[in-house]
Structure 1
Amino acid sequence: MIARLFAAAALAATALTGASIAYAARTADVTGVWMSEDGRTKVRVTDCGGALCGRIVWLKEPIDPKTGKPRTDKLNPDASKRDRPMLGLQVVHGLRPTGEDKWAGPIYHADEGMVVQVSLVVENEKHATMRGCVLKVVCKSERWTRVD
């Protein structure tokens, strides 16, 4: 009887270990450089303590045509931050895992000068979809493509 219990326990442990390895294998690595759907911005996403953070690392048009100088965070509601360069600006602020290949949290939408709550779903190693809503009424989805 005891031998059967140990055998059953060993079988269950093996099944659970296999399930956790299979789960880990299905979870895509989100870190890396991603291009926005419109091709105007690349963001390097990194792990920051179990969450996701990201900074702008490339702009299709890094120079502001109105000023002839590098683009800045000119639409930021905080006037003291409007001179910050767009290159290097942190725009992903601690997205937390919400499920398998799913993340949620705040991003800074520099084109609008506002923080938006988003959900991020990794479709596969090359594509992810980000969906954000303002006041839970006006929503937009954007597909990002891994470029590194």
Structure 2
Amino acid sequence: MRKVVREVSLSLLFTLAGVGCALAGDPTGVWLREGGKATVRILPCGGALCGTVASVRDPDSQAKVGQRVFYGMTPSGDDKWFGRAFNPDDGKTYSGAMTLSGDHLTTAGCVLGGLICKSVGWSRMR
């Protein structure tokens, strides 16, 4: 378990650090979750960014469409945003992070001050 936590933490750290030199990008738009099971729409809201479930592949998960899953995401350096992430599967809210690299977005939900994080990759929809 410690090895997994360490690998996830290091992966997130390197992902966040690796984009520090890039010019700030724009994460607004529609994003397809890796595996294709959902899309999320990220838009400005109240001076920050918010993300709402736009579609889901599973017919039994249609109630999740329209749920806000990222909110209060404010810039924290080039191509990085921090705020809150809601997991509709467990109903819990976590510290959240978004990192943009071209047409790839990585989101993460973290607990214990960022010690344990779970990240998900997204591809920009055209």
TM-score if structure 2 supplies the norm length?
A: 0.74
The percent of aligned pairs where both chains have the same amino acid is 38
2:106 pairs with one of 129, 132, 137: 129
Deviation string for 1:64-87 (max 9, x for gaps)? 2xxxxxx36xxxxxxxxxxxx211
Q: Who is 1:141 aligned against?
A: 119
Cα deviation for residue 139 of structure 1 reads 1.6
Is the aligned partner of 1:51 residue 2:48?
yes
Cα deviation for residue 103 of structure 1 reads 0.1
Q: Who is 1:108 aligned against?
A: 86
Aligned AA for 2:67?
Answer: L
CA–CA separation in structure 1 for the residues paired with 2:118 and 2:85: 13
1 or 2 for the larger relative contact order (CA 8 Å, sep ≥6)?
2
CA–CA separation in structure 1 for the residues paired with 2:117 and 2:26: 26
Aligned AA for 2:107?
Answer: M
Is the aligned partner of 1:96 residue 2:93?
no
Q: Who is 1:79 aligned against?
A: none
Contact kept? 2:50, 2:73, Cα under 8 Å:
yes
> Which of the two has greater strand per residue?
2
Is the aligned partner of 1:60 residue 2:57?
yes
Cα deviation for residue 38 of structure 1 reads 2.7
Question: 4+ runs of 1 displaced by more than 4 Å?
Answer: none
Larger Rg: 1
Cα deviation for residue 141 of structure 1 reads 1.9
The number of equivalent residue pairs is 104
CA RMSD after TM alignment: 1.8
Cα deviation for residue 137 of structure 1 reads 3.5
SS in 2 for 1:88: coil
Q: Who is 1:26 aligned against?
A: 23
Cα deviation for residue 36 of structure 1 reads 1.4
Gaps of 5+ in 2: 1-21
CA–CA separation in structure 1 for the residues paired with 2:68 and 2:110: 20
TM-score if structure 1 supplies the norm length?
A: 0.64
SS in 1 for 2:97: strand
Cα deviation for residue 133 of structure 1 reads 1.6
